[in-house]
Structure 1
Amino acid sequence: MITKATLEDVSALNKLINSAYRGESSKKGWTTEANLLEGLRTTEKELTETIQNQKNTILKFTENNRIIGCVLLIEKENQLYLGMLTVSPELQNSGVGKQLLQQAEIHASALGLPKIVMTVISVREELIAWYKRKGYIATGAREPFPASDVHIPISNQPLEFIVLEKRIL
């Protein structure tokens, strides 16, 4: 079941997101960034602030009273920004991510926004290919990767984002 996340979900979302992107647990799934980055993907403070912002929506995928997936959607001018698409590492390739993407498109349509945009680390070729199979296209735009005390690059490759988008209206 996909519903809107609330402040009561922050702790579970934080555990899920960090387990899917960083550390040993993330290596069970194919979307890990553990070979590229150390540190946390997000924090409870960041998630609380995100949920409290009226322009943001976090959709959660719940099964047996457990959050197993989520996606962050941010209203930005004439588009919806999609970020932090997360599926529990042991449940990846089960269709949860695809269902969250479809719900994001419904959300964008309901807001009257004509496209969804996202940024993906350029070296994540397998992930970029997955999004392309879902109808997203590379715009050619690139953005610098923000180094911080949270996202700590450990890769020898220079990291940057590519921008993908999908027109939905």
Structure 2
Amino acid sequence: MTIRPACVEDIPMVTSLLRRACVTVAQRFGLTEENCPKSPAFYTEDRVKADLERGVQYYFLEEGAEVCGCVALEKARPEIGYLERLAVLPEHRSKGFGSALVRHVLARAESMGLERVGIGIIAEDEPLKEWYRRFGFVLTGTRQFDHLPFVVAFMGKELREPSEKETLNPVVSDREEP
């Protein structure tokens, strides 16, 4: 298994992988292109290109010559990054690939000097919340957005020990929208 950065030439592969991997989540939660057009299940090459242009870095996980999954890391602010678009193709799930991609993003974020990594997920997805808790993510808040047919649960993981001031004044969510 290897994990490598995706580049501009990989835009079609990123798009295809996201659409194929995320359709199961869309089906499970009743997401459609009409009620949730920003879902990775309905991603377009233009959206991936826009992600790359604003500094989002995608990573592929490959087993042999086959791309099995991807994840993205966005540096939102000097101290905060977002783990986004974690996707493993259905036929490659339960092999530890998702865990490997999360660990890779956390290591990259730490090497970039980030202090915290955040995620936004469907609040109703309890198994996914529990899965992220195993990596040290904690629930920091929830929010309903007008353009989404579900409540978003925000989770975060500190990459360093917070100062006393930060523990007295925790941030509920520093993200405007997923």
Question: Structure 1 length normalisation: TM-score?
Answer: 0.82
1:142 CA drift (Å): 2.5
Instruction: Describe the shift of the 1:162–1:5 C-alpha distance in structure 2 as closer, same or farther (beyond 3 A).
Output: same
Q: Mind listing any 5+ residue stretches in structure 1 that lack a counterpart? A: 27-31, 148-152, 154-158
1:164 aligns with 2:155: yes
Q: How does 1:6-155 map to 2 (within 5 A)?
A: 6-22=7-23, 26=24, 32-36=25-29, 37-39=31-33, 40-53=41-54, 55-77=55-77, 78-144=79-145, 146-147=147-148, 153=149
Alpha carbons 2:142, 2:151 under 8 Å: kept: no
In structure 2, the residue matched to 1:156 is none
Runs of at least 5 residues in structure 2 that lack an aligned partner in the other structure:
34-40, 161-178
Higher relative contact order (CA 8 A, sep 6+): 1
Contact 1:145–1:161 (CA<8 Å) still a contact in 2?
no
How big is the alpha-carbon RMSD for the aligned residues of Structure 1 and Structure 2?
Answer: 1.5
Q: Which structure has the greater CA radius of gyration?
A: 2
Quick one: which amino acid aligns to residue 159 of structure 2?
I
| Percent identical | 25
Q: 1:45 to 1:64 in 2, by over 3 A?
A: same
SS of the aligned residue for 1:20 comes to helix
Describe the SS at the equivalent of 1:17: helix
The number of residues matched between the two structures is: 150
8 Å CA contact 2:123, 2:142 repeated in 1: no
**Equivalent residue letter for 1:160:** V
